């Protein structure tokens, strides 16, 4: 009986120490993870609007209700409005997905990016390599979607976000820089 108690106490101490180490590591790396995530998103924004990697951009963020989570106004070094990035996040049947939709101030979609996802990598790679590029250059007043993707939850999420971004841009920005 005493041996079992001793074993249980040792396992409890090991579990406590391991839990504290995981907690401590999480606390120590959290700020770095957040900074890296922000830098990665900034790189997406710069690429969307053909800005140099080392250029400074300013973003003004507004939280949205509904399908989209956030609208970011993107300004270049000279404080010129380049366009907007609409961010949508959801959980579909394959996991979490975050999509960024870049729109120029004239209403042209400049890029659609899956910025993070836990969806099945092979499905995501196929969507990224085949089905995101056709959105580039489309006008928010008339967005078309590829119907040949098959029943993909990943593309369904992308389609919802692109449609919501186009609708929001047309309703709130009216296709101009106002």
Domain parsing of the chain, residue ranges: 54-173
Distances in Å between the alpha carbon of 27 and those of 24, 33, 136?
5, 10, 40
148 or 19, which is more confident: 19
pLDDT tens-digit readout, 56-87: 777 777 778 788 988 988 888 888 888 999 99
pTM value is 0.77
Mean per-residue pLDDT over the chain, rounded? 86
Tens digit of each residue's pLDDT (9 = 90 or more) over 117-149: 888 888 888 888 888 889 999 999 998 887 766
């Amino acid at each position: 009986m005493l041996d079992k108690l001793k074993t249980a106490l040792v396992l409890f101490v090991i579990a406590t120490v391991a839990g504290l180490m995981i907690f401590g590591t999480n606390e120590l790396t959290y700020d770095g993870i957040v900074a890296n995530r922000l830098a990665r998103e900034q790189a997406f924004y710069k690429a969307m609007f053909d800005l140099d990697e080392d250029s400074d951009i300013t973003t003004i963020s507004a939280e949205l209700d509904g399908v989209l989570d956030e609208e970011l106004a993107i300004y270049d070094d000279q404080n010129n409005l380049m366009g907007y990035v609409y961010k949508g996040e959801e959980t579909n049947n394959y996991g979490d997905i975050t999509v960024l939709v870049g729109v120029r101030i004239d209403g042209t979609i400049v890029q659609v990016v899956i910025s993070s996802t836990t969806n099945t990598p092979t499905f995501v790679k196929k969507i990224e390599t085949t089905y995101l590029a056709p959105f580039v250059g489309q006008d928010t007043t008339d967005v078309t979607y590829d119907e040949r993707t098959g029943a993909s939850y990943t593309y369904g999420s992308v389609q919802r976000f692109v449609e919501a971004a186009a609708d929001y841009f047309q309703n709130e920005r009216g296709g101009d820089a106002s």
